[in-house]
A and B are shown apart, each in its own frame.
Chain A
Amino acid sequence: MANSAALTGPRGPKPQKSFSRRNIFLYGTLTIIAIYYAIPLYVMVVTSLKGMPEIRLGNIFSPPMEITFAPWVKAWGEACTGLTCEGLSSGFWNSVRITIPSVIVSIAIASVNGYALANWRFKGANAFFTILIFGAFIPYQVMLYPIVILLRELGIYGTLTGLVIVHSIFGMPILTLLFRNYFASLPEELFKAARVDGAGFWGIYFRVMVPMSLPIFTVAVILQVTGIWNDFLFGVVYTGPETYPMTVQLNNIVNSTQGVKEYNVNMAATILTGLVPLTIYFVSGKLFVRGIAAGAVKG
């Protein structure tokens, strides 16, 4: 090439002036985009801190002139869902009682499954695994009713236990994949050495695999907590008014047609429901992204 001689200069990217036109354009665009994505959160917070008269007068973007926490108190303890006026608190505790056991059970089952698939391959294992992965693509609507029947036969339809089982079932494909791939990436010598030392299936799992896999367990917990907390469909199908999770109760509060709409209470309730996944998201940072990537990379 004729002009390649011009390239034998200093290596590495050309140092750039920080106020080049390119940079102004780049950061300007990114800032505008970031503002667009942040606005809904801002609007939620601002609206929830205003009184109703102020909402009727002003616009949704203006900051509150008088900050009031009354909507938050009302959303938590008194807001009406059409039938009862107990606020979101019962939904919050239901969601806690659904999420914690579901996360523990689904991760326990899936990690053992993934371990069996990665290290103790038996005949037919991969066939079941393939079915499981394809199962992840089946629309939930197809399996909704058969599961209703299963739960009814077991006598746990409409209970929190039933919902925990449902979440464990539907969490299984992605989690099993996650753990299988992780365990398969660990050096095989570890497993072999433990076998030579006489450790069995559970011995290796608890004393070798689990202690080495804390990062992947953390990713799985993040994935499951946000997924289960945010679930709406299973909550509405498999629980009753007494056991509704927070998302279902939130929807009932905001979209209940009775009475005057209290937008500030609605927005306070919305933030309250989003608070748990948001906290996890902002605290976990990179691990959250890893969880998503794990969900995307198949096979």
Chain B
Amino acid sequence: MASSGRPSQLFRNKTAKIAAIPMILTALVVFVGGTIWTIVYSFTKSGLLPKLKWYGLKQYDRLWSTTKWMVSIENLAIYGICMLILVFIIGFVLACLIDQKVRFENTFRSIILYPYALSFVVTGLVWQWILNPEFGLQNIVRDMGWESFAFDPLYNADIAIYGVLIAGLWQGSGLVMVLMLAGLRGIDQEVWKASRVDGIPAWKTYLLIVIPMMRPVFITTLVLVATGIVKLYDLIVAQTGGGPGIATEVPAKYVYDAMFQANNLGQGFAASTMMLVTVAIVVIPWAILEFGGSKKHG
């Protein structure tokens, strides 16, 4: 190194740099390298094995003309929108209820949050059992006298995705509740006192003052929930296996099936690249909002 007298820059903090090698390798080789690799190979004609044979946009053409992919996208959109809206409403309302200085707060919180400790596979299987039309909920209501009652989301292609949504909400709403509760607790009590003095009803205070003040919590929760939705896979595999037919297919499962079952790597790469684009649409605006402008990060 052509440095002038000073010990070389490269060897300052040598141990720290050596210790950071796993992080650097992960960041560069796996995250950046892996992502670029997949994007590049999504333009190739890879089948059973990855081959660098240029194929243009044909994989994407095929992807967007495949029914299974279109169904996957549609399902993810339905699941995603419903999940986002409902999980926020449920999580926020639960947090508000628990924030009323209730006794046994810990008990209530523990019961609402425990599903989050369970895996999606366990969640999916339990709800598969509860929604089983022969033995589960439908059967119980029928036994109580309502003979024509029908609620079999997992066997009815039109509403199957909502069956998955029920399970997803059960598993994930506790997380949102905990985050919202932390947000509510972070609000200055003076705000409440002031609104009481002014005689503003509680619901109005929540809607017009508290929620806008909790913006950062809402945004981090949104990013967390949204990226979780894109990853939706285990739950589908366990609860419905993508069925009935292809009624509950999702992009993550499309990728897995293309790569590891159909020996159609190119399709898998193209589909996963589309997933990356979706996440980027969510994450990049957030990152610009959070870290852009002010260079305070780090």
Residue count of chain B within 8 Å CB distance of chain A: 100
Asked whether, in the complex, the Cβ of A201 is within 8 Å of the Cβ of B276, the reply is no
Asked whether, in the complex, the Cβ of A113 is within 8 Å of the Cβ of B118, the reply is no
Of residues B13, B114, B178, which shows the largest number of chain A Cβ atoms within 10 Å of its Cβ? B114
Roughly how many angstroms separate A267 CA and B136 CA in the complex, as a whole number? 13
Asked whether, in the complex, the Cβ of B290 is within 8 Å of the Cβ of A132, the reply is no
Asked whether, in the complex, the Cβ of A146 is within 8 Å of the Cβ of B260, the reply is no
A residues less than 8 Å from B279 (CB atoms): 137-139
Contact partner of B19 (CB less than 8 A), chosen from A112, A250, A255, is: A112
B15 CB within 8 Å of chain A = yes
Asked whether, in the complex, the Cβ of B117 is within 8 Å of the Cβ of A34, the reply is no
Roughly how many angstroms separate A154 CA and B21 CA in the complex, as a whole number? 18
Asked whether, in the complex, the Cβ of B27 is within 8 Å of the Cβ of A131, the reply is yes
From 97 to 148 in chain B, residues with beta carbon under 8 angstroms from any chain A beta carbon are 97-98, 100-102, 106-122, 125-130, 132, 135-136, 139-140, 143
Contact partner of B265 (CB less than 8 A), chosen from A39, A145, A236, A237, is: A145
Contact partner of B97 (CB less than 8 A), chosen from A26, A172, A282, is: A26
Roughly how many angstroms separate A241 CA and B9 CA in the complex, as a whole number? 50
B residues less than 8 Å from A267 (CB atoms): 126, 129
A residues less than 8 Å from B12 (CB atoms): 122
B290 — nearest CB in chain A belongs to which residue? A299
- Distance in Å: Cβ of B169 to nearest Cβ of chain A: 10
Q: How large is the interface on A (under 10, 10 to 19, 20 to 34, 35 or more residues)?
A: 35 or more
Roughly how many angstroms separate A226 CA and B129 CA in the complex, as a whole number? 23
Known: A176-B23, A278-B117, A299-B290. A147 touches B34 (CB 8 A): yes
Contact partner of B117 (CB less than 8 A), chosen from A1, A254, A280, is: A280
Roughly how many angstroms separate A209 CA and B151 CA in the complex, as a whole number? 56
Q: Mark B3-17, 1 if CB is under 8 A from A, else 0.
A: 000000100110111
B67 CB within 8 Å of chain A = no
Q: Mark B70-112, 1 if CB is under 8 A from A, else 0.
A: 0000000000000000000000001001101110001111111
A residues less than 8 Å from B156 (CB atoms): none
From 13 to 43 in chain A, residues with beta carbon under 8 angstroms from any chain B beta carbon are 13, 26-27, 29-30, 33-34, 37-41, 43
A39 — nearest CB in chain B belongs to which residue? B130
**B-binding segment of A69-77, A156-164, A190-198, A285-293:** A285-293
Asked whether, in the complex, the Cβ of B140 is within 8 Å of the Cβ of A60, the reply is yes
- Distance in Å: Cβ of A213 to nearest Cβ of chain B: 16
Asked whether, in the complex, the Cβ of B115 is within 8 Å of the Cβ of A40, the reply is yes
B residues less than 8 Å from A43 (CB atoms): 126, 129-130
A212 CB within 8 Å of chain B = no
Asked whether, in the complex, the Cβ of A135 is within 8 Å of the Cβ of B30, the reply is yes
- Distance in Å: Cβ of A284 to nearest Cβ of chain B: 9
Asked whether, in the complex, the Cβ of B120 is within 8 Å of the Cβ of A230, the reply is yes
B68 CB within 8 Å of chain A = no
- Distance in Å: Cβ of B75 to nearest Cβ of chain A: 16
Known: A116-B20, A229-B119, A233-B234. A146 touches B140 (CB 8 A): no
B160 CB within 8 Å of chain A = no
Asked whether, in the complex, the Cβ of B19 is within 8 Å of the Cβ of A134, the reply is no
A104 CB within 8 Å of chain B = no
A208 CB within 8 Å of chain B = no
Asked whether, in the complex, the Cβ of B31 is within 8 Å of the Cβ of A138, the reply is yes
B residues less than 8 Å from A40 (CB atoms): 115, 126-127, 130, 170
Roughly how many angstroms separate A226 CA and B223 CA in the complex, as a whole number? 21
Known: A27-B102, A288-B117, A296-B221. A139 touches B272 (CB 8 A): yes
A178 CB within 8 Å of chain B = no
Asked whether, in the complex, the Cβ of B197 is within 8 Å of the Cβ of A169, the reply is no
Chain A residues near B (Cβ < 8 Å): 1, 4, 7, 13, 26-27, 29-30, 33-34, 37-41, 43-44, 47, 55-56, 59-61, 109, 112-113, 115-117, 120-123, 125-126, 128-132, 134-135, 137-147, 149-150, 168-169, 172, 176, 200-202, 226, 229-233, 236-237, 247, 250-251, 254-255, 263, 266-267, 270, 273-274, 277-278, 280-282, 285, 288-289, 292-293, 295-299
Known: A116-B19, A132-B23. 5 other contacts (CB 8 A): A128-B24, A132-B26, A232-B233, A266-B125, A293-B182
| A-B pairs, 7 with minimum CB distance | A230-B119, A135-B31, A120-B16, A146-B34, A281-B117, A201-B15, A126-B298
Contact sample, A vs B, 21 pairs, CB 8 Å cutoff = A29-B97, A30-B102, A40-B130, A60-B140, A115-B19, A131-B27, A137-B227, A137-B283, A139-B276, A141-B252, A141-B256, A142-B273, A147-B34, A230-B118, A232-B238, A247-B119, A247-B122, A251-B125, A270-B122, A292-B178, A297-B220
